[in-house]
Amino acid sequence: MEKEAYLDLYYQMVLIRLVEDQAAQLYQQGKIGGFLHLYIGQEAVSTGLISARQPQDRVITAYRDHGVAINCGISAVEVLAELMGKASGISKGKGGSMHLADVKKNFWGGHAIVGAHLPIAAGLALGDLYQKNDGVTICMFGDGATNIGYFHEALNLSQVWKLPVLWVCENNQYGMGTSVERASAVSEIRKKADGYGIPNDHVDGMDVLLVRKAAQAAIDHVRSGKGPYFLEVITYRFRGHSMGDPERYRRSEEVKKWQENDPIGIYRRYLIDEGIASDAELDTLDARVEQVVMEAVQSATASPEPGPEALFENVYFEG
C-alpha cells in the first residue's frame, strides 16, 4: 500500500469522527430532528471494508449509515445537509439520517427497518448474477439484525442461488440496549452462517488494516463465483444507540475499556510506529479534516430547506 492510501484511511476515519461529533452538537441544538445514530467507535469497520471494494461493488447498510456514506464518497456537507433536512442533502431532505444513498457511487442506503435490507441486498446481487457482472454486493448490518427472519431468509436464498454477496455483521455487542448474549441463541454470530453452509470468518473491527485485509479476502472469495461469504466484525459503539439513550444497559467501565481501543488511536500509533507518517503530518491532517467539517457545517446550515413543491415529488416515477 502506498503512503497516500494509508493516510487516506486515517483521513476518512477522522472525518467520520468529526462529522459525528458535529452531528451530535447540531442535534443538541435542535438543528437535526428525528433519530440520530452515531458511528463513533466503529469507524474502522466501514473504512477498512469499503477501502477493499472495487467501483462495481455495491454497498448497502442499515440505519447507522453516516460513516458508510462518507466511505462511499458522499461529502461531509451532503451528509450533514441531509441530517438537517436540507434540499442540498444527499436525499434532498426527504430521507434523513437513516436514509443516505448515492446510486452513482454504488451506495444503496441507509435502511431503517432492522434486517429488511438483507433480502434487498440479495436482489442487488441477483441483478449482477443475472447480468453477468463481476460486482460484489457488500451488505452490512448489526448483530441485532441476525435475530430477525429476514436475515435467515436472505442468507438461505443467497446460498441456494450462489449470489455474489458479502454479508458483514458489525457486532457492536448490543441491539439497542440488549446485549448479544441476551438476544441471540449463539453469541458467536458467524456460526449462524454455518447453518446455511456459508463460509465465514471474524475480524477485530477496531483495527482498520485487519478489517481491510479480511474484507479483501472475503470480496475475492465472492468475486471468484463461489457464492456468498459471511464476515463478522467485532466492534463497539462508544456512544448510545441513538441520541437520548440513557445507557442503563452497560457500565461506564466497559465503555472506557473499549475506548482505550479507539480505532483512530490504534491506527495513528501504527502509522507513527511503522514510520509511515509523523505526528506532525497527522496533526496537519487532523486540522485539514476539522476545516472541512466546519465548512461543511456552515454550508449545510446556510443551505435552504426544500420548497413546498418537493412534497409531492418522487412519489412515483411516472405520474
Partner 1 sequence: MARITMREAISQALWEEMERDPNVFILGEEVGVWGGTYAVTKGFYDHFGADRVRDTPIAEAAIIGATIGSALVGLRPVAELMTINFAFSAMDHIVNEAAKLHYMFAGQFVLPLVIRAVGGGGRQLGATHSQTPDAIFAHFPGLKVVAPGTPEDAKGLLKTAIRSNDPVLFIEHATLYQVRGEVPEGDYSVPIGTAKVQRPGRDVTIVTYSKMLEISTKAADLLAKDGIEAEIVDLRTLRPLDMDPVIESFKKTNRAVIVEEGWRSFGVGSEVASRIYEQAFDYVDAPIQRVAQKEVPLPYNRNLEQMALPQVEDVIRAVKEVL
Q: Which residues bind partner 1 (CB under 8 A)?
A: 58, 91-92, 94-95, 99, 101-103, 108-111, 113, 116-128, 130-131, 149-150, 153-154, 156-157, 160-161, 313-319
* Minimal distance, residue 190 CB to partner 1, in Å: 21
Cβ-based nearer residue to partner 1, 55 or 275: 55
* Minimal distance, residue 155 CB to partner 1, in Å: 9
* Minimal distance, residue 312 CB to partner 1, in Å: 9
Cβ-based nearer residue to partner 1, 118 or 233: 118
Cβ-based nearer residue to partner 1, 123 or 199: 123
Cβ-based nearer residue to partner 1, 108 or 236: 108
Contacts 24+ apart (CB under 8 A), 125-130: 125/58, 125/158, 125/163, 125/164, 125/165, 125/228, 126/161, 126/163, 128/58, 128/164, 129/161, 129/162, 129/163, 129/164
* Minimal distance, residue 303 CB to partner 1, in Å: 15
How many angstroms separate the CA atoms of 67 and 42, rounded?
8
How many whole angstroms from its chain centre is CA 61? Answer: 6
Is residue 65 within 8 A of residue 109, CB to CB? The reply is yes
DSSP H helical ranges for the chain:
3-28, 43-51, 66-71, 76-83, 117-130, 149-160, 180-183, 191-194, 208-221, 252-259, 263-273, 279-302
* Minimal distance, residue 47 CB to partner 1, in Å: 23
Residue 32 cell numbers, joined? 437535526
Question: How is residue 305 annotated by DSSP?
Answer: P
Give me the amino acid identity at 103. V
How many angstroms separate the CA atoms of 120 and 227, rounded?
16
* Minimal distance, residue 87 CB to partner 1, in Å: 9
* Minimal distance, residue 169 CB to partner 1, in Å: 18
Contacts 24+ apart (CB under 8 A), 185-192: 188/232, 189/143, 189/146, 189/232, 190/230, 190/231, 190/232, 192/146, 192/151, 192/152, 192/155, 192/230
Cβ-based nearer residue to partner 1, 248 or 317: 317
How many angstroms separate the CA atoms of 33 and 96, rounded?
8
Is residue 180 within 8 A of residue 245, CB to CB? The reply is no
Cβ-based nearer residue to partner 1, 199 or 306: 306
Cβ-based nearer residue to partner 1, 109 or 142: 109
Cβ-based nearer residue to partner 1, 11 or 167: 167
* Minimal distance, residue 300 CB to partner 1, in Å: 16
